[in-house]
Amino acid sequence: MGGKNSSLGEMISNLAGAGVSVPGGFATTAQAYRDFLELSGLNDQIHAALDALDVDDVNALARTGAQIRQWIMEAEFPEKLNAGIRTAFAELSAGNPNLAVAVRSSATAEDLPDASFAGQQETFLNIRGVENVIRAAKEVFASLFNDRAISYRVHQGFDHKLVALSAGVQRMVRSETGTAGVMFTLDTESGFRDVVFITGAYGLGETVVQGAVNPDEFYVHKDTLAAGRPAILRRNLGSKAIKMIYGEEASAGKSVKVIDVEPADRARFCLTDAEVSELAKQAMIIEKHYKCPMDIEWAKDGDDGKLYIVQARPETVKSRASANVMERYLLKETGKVLV
C-alpha cells in the first residue's frame, strides 16, 4: 500500500488509544495497480513508450507523459478493483451521500532513504460520490507518469516497473473552515531534535504543503511539554494571505478553490497555545512509535474543533544530514570590497 497509506493504517491501529486522532478511510493495494495495467494491456504499451523516450527532450517528455496519462484515464478498472472501491466507500460513507474524502497517492518506493518520490503524484480533495472517487483514483494512478515523476525516476536510475501506486481514500477533515499545516519533530533548519516545529494556516493544508502561503510558525520544547509546563519557545506570525476551500463541484480538478484571507484573520495566529501544545503532544507520540524524526500533516476541523493527523512519514532530509562534516572553502579570486 505504499509508505503513506501503511503509516495511516498503523497509526489508526496502534496510536488511537494513545491520543492520536486519524480520520478513517481505505486504500487500494499496489498489486491492484499492477493488475489494472496488466489486464488493460497498458503495461507493455507504457514501457515501450518510456523505453523510446529521451527525458532530456522536454517536448518529447511532455508528449509521452500526456499520452500515457490519457491511456490510463481511458482504460476501465478491473471488476474486482471497481467493486472493491464501491464496497469500501459504501462502508466509509455509511449512507451519507455528501461525505467528502481526500484521494491521495502512496508510492511503493516512497520515503526510502535513497528516493524522494513524495509529492510527485497528485492529491485530490473534497471528492464526493463513488463515481468521482473512482475517477480520482484513476487520476492518482495516471499521475505516476507526470513529467516530473518520469524524469526523476530516469535520472535516479529507478526502474519504472518497480514503482507502483496505492490510492488512499480518507475522510476529509473540514479544515476549509478551520486550519491545517505541517509539523516536524525536529528543527528543519538546524536538525535540533529537542523541539517540535509546527506550521499552520487557514483552510485546507495543501497551501502549506505546496509552499503557496507564508504560514504561522511555532517551536515547542519537547522535554518541557512532557513535564507539563508551558513549552512554546517561539511564535512567528505568517502573512497567511490566501486559503484553499471547497469548490462548487466535488470532482477531480474542480473540487477546491483559493480565496483571500480577511485582514483581521491574517493579523492573528491561526492556533491557540493549547492547540499548539496538543499538536506537539501528538507529534511526540508518533515520533516515539516510529523511533525516528517525523514529517506530519495535520488539520483542525472547523465544525467540531478537533485536531487530526492526516499523514505521517519519516523526515528524510535533515535527520540524515551529517553533523560531523566541516567544509572549508577557499576563494580563488579577489575583488573590490563593497561594504
Q: Are residues 239 and 255 in the same domain?
A: yes
- Determine whether 164 is exposed, middle or buried from the number of CB atoms within 10 Å of its CB (0-12, 13-18, 19+): buried
Helix H or strand E encompassing 5:
helix 2-14
Cβ atoms of residues 236 and 217 within 8 Å: yes
Give the span between the Cα atoms of 124 and 102, in whole angstroms: 6
For residues 234 and 112, the model is more confident at 234
Residue finishing a domain among 146, 171, 196: 171
CATH at residue 269: 3.30.470.20
Residues 6+ apart with CB under 8 A from 138: 72, 73, 75, 77
Query: What average pLDDT does range 96-119 have in this prediction?
Result: 71
- The count of structural domains within the chain is 2
Q: Are residues 237 and 303 in the same domain?
A: yes
* 314 assigned to some structural domain: yes
Q: Is there a single domain that holds both residue 12 and residue 116?
A: yes
Return the closest-CA partner of residue 185 out of 295, 82, 291, 304.
295
Residue 130, classified by CB atoms within 10 Å of its CB into exposed (0-12), middle (13-18) or buried (19+), is buried
State pLDDT tens for residues 24-76.
Answer: 999 999 999 999 999 999 999 999 999 999 988 999 999 999 999 999 999 99
Q: Is residue 325 part of a domain?
A: no
Question: Same domain, yes or no, for 14 and 30?
Answer: yes
CATH of the domain at 159: 3.30.1490.20
212 and 161 housed in the same domain: no
Closest CA to 91 of 25, 173, 135, 30: 25
Task: Choose among 137, 159, 6: nearest CA to 78.
Answer: 137
109, 181: one domain = no
User: What is the model's pLDDT at position 158?
Assistant: 83
Secondary structure of residue 122 in the 3-state scheme: coil
Q: Which domain-ending residue is among 103, 138, 171?
A: 171
Query: Is residue 337 one of the residues assigned to a domain?
Result: no
Band of residue 250 on the pLDDT scale cut at 50, 70, 90: low
Last residue of a domain, one of 112, 142, 171: 171
> Which domain does 48 fall in, by range?
2-171
Are residues 183 and 216 both part of a single domain? yes
Judge if 181 and 127 occupy the same domain: no
Cα–Cα distance, 259 to 123 (Å, whole number)? 19
Residue 332 lies in a domain: no
**Residue 336 is assigned to a structural domain of this protein:** no
C-alpha cell belonging to residue 54: 529521451
The yes-or-no verdict on residue 267 having pLDDT over 90 is yes
| Shared-domain flag, residues 38 and 156 | yes
If one compares 280 and 4, the residue with the highest pLDDT of the two is 280
Res 156: pLDDT: 83
User: Is there a single domain that holds both residue 157 and residue 208?
Assistant: no
Residue 279 domain-assigned?
Answer: yes
Residue 133 lies in a domain: yes
Same domain for 165 and 180: no
Report the C-alpha gap between 129 and 59 in whole angstroms: 36
User: Looking at the structure, do residues 53 and 161 belong to the same domain, yes or no?
Assistant: yes
Average pLDDT, the chain: 89
Please state, in angstroms and rounded to a whole number, the distance separating the CA atoms of residues 161 and 108: 11
In a domain? residue 328:
no
